[in-house]
Chain A
Amino acid sequence: MHLSPEPGVWLAAILTLAGFSFLWKDNPMFKVMEHMLVGVSAGYYLVQYAYSAIFKKLYVPLVKQGNLLFAGCAVLGLMAFARLFPKRSWLSRYPVAFYVAAGAGYSVPSTIQARVIKQMQVTMINVFDQGSLGAGVSSFLLFVGVITVLLYFFFSAEHRGPLGAASKIGIVTLMIGFGASFGYTVMSRITLLIGRFQFLLGDWLGFL
Chain B
Amino acid sequence: MAGMKGLDRTIIYWGVAFSIVIPLLWPIGFSTEVTSQVRDIHRFIEQMPESSAVLMSFDYEPATIAELDPMAAAFLKHLFQRRARVMGMTLLPGGVGLAENLLRQEAAIAGMEYGRNWLFLGYIPDGTAAMLRMGEDVAMVFPTDQYGTALDSFPMMRGVKSYRNMGLVICLSSTAMPQLWAQYAHDRYGAAVAVGATAVEAVRLYPYHDSGQLVGFLGGLKGAAEYETLIQTPGDGIRGMDAQTISHLFIVMMVVLGNIGYAATKWRGRAGASTGRNHAPVA
Contact = CB atoms under 8 A, between A and B. Distances in A.
A–B proximity contact (CB within 8 A): yes
Contacts of A102: 129
Contacts of B141: 57
A195 B93 contact: no
Contacts of A207: 25
B229 interface: no
| Chain A contact surface mostly | helix
Interface stretch (A45-53, A80-88, A155-163): A45-53
A99 B66 CA distance: 34
Interface centre among A25, A122, A180, A191 (most CB of B within 10 A): A191
Interface stretch (B28-36, B182-190, B259-267, B268-276): B182-190
Given A194-B244, A207-B25, A44 B94 contact: yes
B206 to A, nearest CB: 9
Interface string B108-123: 0000000000000011
Nearest to B95: A48
B142 interface: yes
A75 interface: no
B253 interface: no
Nearest to B184: A110
Chain A interface category by residue count: 35 or more
A107 interface: yes
Nearest to A26: B1
A46 to B, nearest CB: 9
A18 to B, nearest CB: 16
Contacts of B207: 119, 122
A122 B207 CA distance: 9
A27 interface: no
A48 B96 CA distance: 8
B66 A110 contact: no
B11 to A, nearest CB: 12
A122 B211 contact: yes
B240 A106 contact: no
B20 A192 contact: no
Interface of B: 1, 13, 16-17, 20-21, 24-25, 63-67, 93-94, 96-97, 122-126, 128-129, 132, 140-144, 179, 182-184, 186-188, 198-200, 202-204, 207, 210-213, 219-222, 236, 239-240, 243-244, 247-248, 251
Q: Which 8 A-B pairs have the closest CB atoms?
A: A195-B66, A114-B183, A48-B93, A184-B199, A188-B199, A122-B211, A184-B203, A187-B199
9 contacts: A56-B122, A99-B126, A106-B132, A113-B188, A122-B212, A184-B219, A184-B220, A187-B221, A193-B16
Interface of A: 23, 25, 41, 44-45, 48-49, 51-53, 56-57, 60-61, 64-65, 99, 102-103, 106-107, 110-111, 113-115, 118-119, 121-122, 180-181, 184-188, 190-198, 201, 207-208
